[in-house]
Every structure is written in C-alpha cells, then in structure tokens.
Amino acid sequence: TNQYAEVKGGVYPVTNDDVEPDGTEHPGWPMPFQQTTLGTTDTGGNVPGSGSFTATFSGPYININDNCGTGSLTQSDDIDWGASGGTDCATPGFGGAGNTHASRSGFYELNRIKEMARGQLPENIWLQDQLTANMNIDASCNAYWNGTTVNFYKSGGGCANTGEIAAVFVHEFGHGMDANDAIGGIASPSGEGIADLYSALRLYDSCIGRNFLPTPCSGNGDPCLTCTGVRDIDYLQRQSGNPHTYTWSNANCGGSVHCVGGVYSEAVWSLWKRKLQAAPYNYDNNTAAEIVTRLTYIGAGNTSDWFFDRHTGIH
C-alpha cells in the first residue's frame, strides 16, 4: 500500500467578512505544493510517508514571509495548521507566530492561481519559479507588486487585512503575470484592468476584493451598488449602469490607472457574461468562462498597449 500524509489548514476562500458564501474560514483545506520533511505535497496536499514530520509555508512556487513571525509545525502522520478567530497576527495557538490567516490563505490562493496560470502557459518560466509573498506588513489599506514580490498590509484605517482577501492575492499576482508574460513589462496605459481580470476569472466575481472596505466602493465617480472591494468591473453593478469609455475615464477620474483599466476589464467581463451567453453563441456560463480565460491569458501576454487610436496613431 501507499501511505500518504496530508497537510491542511484553515483558508478564507474569498474574504474574511464572515458572510456566506465562503466568507468564513474553512478548516481543513489542502496546502498544495508545500515543503515538508517528507517532501513536497501535491495539489491535494498529500505527500508520501508517515510518522512525525514538519511543514513550513514555503514550496517550489510560493514562499510566505509573514511579518508576524515564522510558521513551522511538526505533527504525526498528518499536519493540520488549524483555524482561528481574529485577524492580522492571530493564530490558532500553535504552528508559530507566522501561522496566521494571511499565511494560510495566501499560501493556498497564490499556489492555486499559479497552478491555473501554468495550465494556460506551461512554458512560462516565471510561473515555474518561487514567488515570495510578504504578509502582515505594518501599514494599512494597500497591497502591491514591487517587481519581484507581492505584498499585503495589516488591517487598519478602515480597511481589512489585504492578506486575507483572495481577490487581492490574485490581483497582485496579476501584475507579476503582466510583467512576465510574452511581452515583458506592464502593458500601457494601465495594468490594473488585466490584474482585475485575472482575479475575476479565478474567483468568478466582478467585485474585486470584497470586504476591502466597510461600504460600497466609490468607483472613481460612478459608485458601486454593493461591492465592498476596490472596484466592480461589471458596469451594471455601478450606479450609472453604463460601460465606461477611455474618454469618460479621462474626463471623470483624470486618467487614473485604476479607472482606465476598467475600460477593458469591463469589456472582457461583458464578453464572458453577456456576449458569449447570448445569441448566436448561447454558451453556458462555464464554457464562456473557459473561452474568455484562454483568450485572456494568450491575448494579454502579447499585449503591450491596451488602446490604439486608428485616426491619430496614438497608443
């Protein structure tokens, strides 16, 4: 027989607002591609072997650097990182000071989005490399890609911990994907839209980062109806109910990169949710999602400029 040990832990599948669906921490989710003293777990969190062994929040694809401390856990036959209440540096009381919501959820979600991306772009070298994620940075209301790492802030200032929100993980990964695809560097004039699209296609949600804010997002001059994230890329979920053009974004939000990015992210969301599911195509939601996902990974990888004016020749 083959004896397998399992490595699992509590994960926020979407966000930390304790509102269903998937707004509570789910215990026992597999830790994919996690390094242990028995070897590296597979996508289901399994590793051949038995007996006492140790795991950390590191592996071939993701390395977690938690500012609350180091996460390391030794148990017998199986490892369960557990789940806990609280936020930021709260832990279950074992596994080290780095066994936080952000470490567990971030390790899970970043491995999942890299796995999804490798399925689309198996030859991409960056997706094969280890990406470091810095969690619980002592600041608030932000997260960012710095060219080599993804970085997430503690709660405060009216914002939730960005290392406990799946859409924020994928959005920042999306900047790295944009910078390391077929045409390197962030595509002009805004890489925010493609980062939002990677998030939406992974989570099937137009609200980017639910529970980032306590109230619906301002939406750069066109408020969101219900989304408490940073943006909603479904224009029907915005107050005006109208799609946003490049001209509108410049006139109403000064060409802000987040606002400009919405022009093409809204278009791709509409392709998925409306165009492909209507006549003459009549695809079901999942088939439409597969088509748009494939088009996005291939098309975005070969894009250097999101807009081109045929009349002026200006990108």
> Beta-carbon neighbour count of residue 180 at 10 Å?
16
Q: What is the pLDDT of residue 314?
A: 55
**What's the pLDDT at 114?**
98
pLDDT score recorded for residue 127: 98
Distance CA 285, CA 127 (A): 27
CA torsion 295-297-298-299 (nearest 10°) is 70
Confidence (pTM): 0.95
In this predicted structure, what is the pLDDT of residue 187?
A: 93
Can you tell me the distance from the alpha carbon of 42 to that of 98, in angstroms, rounded to the nearest whole number? 22
- pLDDT tens for each residue of 157-194: 999 999 999 999 999 999 999 999 999 999 999 999 99
| Ranges of residues in the chain whose predicted pLDDT is under 50 | none
Could you report the per-residue pLDDT of 60-105, keeping only the tens digit for each? 999 999 999 999 999 999 999 999 999 999 999 999 999 999 999 9
8 A C-beta contact, residue 205 and residue 168:
no
Helix axes 257-270, 192-203, angle to 10 degrees: 40
